[in-house]
Amino acid sequence: MADTKYIFVTGGVVSSLGKGIVAASLGKLLQARGFRVTIQKFDPYINIDPGTLNPYEHGECYVTVDGRETDLDLGHYERFLNISTSKANNITTGRIYQNVIDAERRGDFLGKTVQVVPHITDEIKRNILILGNTGDYDFVITEIGGTVGDIESLPYIESVRQLRWELGKNCLCIHLTYVPYIAAAKEVKTKPTQHSVKELQEQGIQPNILVLRTEKPLSENICHKVALFCNVDKNAVIQSYDVPSIYEVPLVLARQNMDKIVLQKMGVPIKGKLDLENWKNFLNNMKAAKKSVKIGLVGKYVELPDAYKSINESLLQAATYHKRKLDLHFIHSEKLNDENAEELLQNLDGVLVAPGFGHRGLEGKFAALKFAREHNKPAFGVCLGMQCMVIEYARNVLGLQNANSTEMDPNTKYKVIDLMEAQKNLKIMGGSMRLGAYDCKLEKDSIAYNAYNSELIRERHRHRYEFNNNFKAQFEANGMKCTGINPQTGLVEIVEVPALKWYMGTQYHPEYNSTVANPNPLFMSFIKAAIAENKE
Ligand code: GLN
Residues with Cβ within 8 Å of 514's Cβ and at least 6 positions away in sequence, in order, are 79, 310, 313, 314, 317, 318, 520, 523
| Measured CA distances, 273 to 26, 197, 278, 516 (Å) | 15, 32, 14, 21
> Over the stretch 508-526, which tens digit does the pLDDT of each residue have?
999 999 999 999 999 999 9
- Tell me: pLDDT of 272 over 70: yes
pLDDT band at 534 (very low <50, low <70, confident <90, very high): confident
Q: What is the pLDDT of residues 73-101, one digit of tens each?
A: 999 999 999 999 999 999 999 999 999 99
Q: Nearest C-alpha to atom 3 of ligand 1 is from which residue?
A: 463
- What is the distance in A from the centroid of ligand 1 to the CA of 340? 26
pLDDT at 158 over 80: yes
Tell me, in angstroms, the distance from the centre of ligand 1 to residue 387's CA: 8
Atom 6, ligand 1: which residue's CA is nearest?
463
What spatial distance separates the first Cα and last Cα of the chain, rounded to whole Å? Answer: 52
Q: Which helix (H) or strand (E) element contains residue 332?
A: strand 325-332
Q: Which helix (H) or strand (E) holds 122?
A: helix 121-133
Confidence tier at 302 by pLDDT (50, 70, 90) = confident
The DSSP code for 423 is G
Distance between Cα 354 and ligand 1 center (Å): 10
Rounded Cα distance between 330 and 294, Å, is 11
Q: What is the mean pLDDT of the chain?
A: 95
Asked whether the predicted pLDDT for residue 359 surpasses 60, the reply is: yes
Query: Distance between CA 379 and CA 350 in Å, rounded?
Result: 6
pLDDT higher than threshold 70 for residue 536:
no
Pairing label, strands 171-178, 209-214: parallel
Pocket-testing residue among 63, 465, 467, 509, ligand 1, by greatest number of atoms within 8 A of Cβ: 465
333 burial class (0-12, 13-18, 19+ CB within 10 angstroms)? buried
Task: Decide the pairing of beta strands 187-188 and 181-182.
Answer: antiparallel
The pLDDT of residue 423 is 87
| pLDDT, position 428 | 87
Number of the ligand 1 atom closest to the C-alpha atom of 465: 10
Going from the Cα of 359 to the center of ligand 1, the distance in angstroms, rounded, reads 11
3-state helix, strand, coil in the chain (%, to 5): 40, 20, 35
Residue pair 147/175 in contact (Cβ under 8 Å)? The answer is no
Average pLDDT over residues 219-233: 94
Percent of the chain with pLDDT over 70: 99
Residue among 407, 415, 508 whose CB has most ligand 1 atoms within 8 A, to mutate:
407
Ligand 1 atom closest to Cα of residue 382: 8
Mean pLDDT of 390-394: 98
> Residue 309 pLDDT more than 80?
yes
Count other Cβ atoms within 10 Å, centred on residue 482.
21
pLDDT score of 535: 61
Given its phi and psi angles, is residue 294 left (phi above 0), alpha (psi -120 to 50 degrees) or beta? beta
Q: Which atom of ligand 1 is nearest to the CA of 355?
A: 8
Reference 391, options 353, 429, 420; nearest CA is: 353
**Average pLDDT for 342-358:** 96
Confirm if 44 and 153 have CB atoms less than 8 A apart: yes
Tell how far the Cα of 382 is from the centroid of ligand 1, in angstroms: 9
In this structure, the residue with its CA closest to atom 5 of ligand 1 is 384
Residues found in the chain: 536
Return left, alpha or beta for 214; rule: phi > 0 is left, psi -120 to 50 is alpha, else beta.
beta
Q: Which residues are catalytic?
A: 383, 509, 511
Backbone angles phi, psi at 206, to 5 degrees: -100, 115
397 — pLDDT class (breaks 50, 70, 90): very high
As for ligand 1, residues whose beta carbon falls within 6 Å of it are: 355-357, 383-384, 407, 462-465
Count CB atoms within 10 A of the CB of residue 88. Answer: 16
* For residues 172-193, average pLDDT: 94
Give counts: helices (H), strands (E), the chain.
18, 23
Nearest CA to ligand 1 atom 1: 357
User: Cα(228) to centroid of ligand 1, in Å?
Assistant: 52
Determine contact, residues 117/162, Cβ cutoff 8 Å. Answer: no
pLDDT per residue over 90-141, tens digit each?
A: 999 999 999 999 999 999 999 999 999 999 999 999 999 999 999 999 999 9
Q: What does the pLDDT read at residue 408?
A: 96
Tell me: the pLDDT tens digits for 423-446?
Answer: 888 888 888 899 999 999 999 999
- What is the percent of the chain where pLDDT is above 90? 92
Question: How many angstroms separate the CA atoms of 200 and 476, rounded?
Answer: 62
Mutation test residue for ligand 1: of 333, 387, 388, 467, the one with most atoms within 8 Å of CB: 387
φ, ψ for residue 393, nearest 5 deg: -65, -40
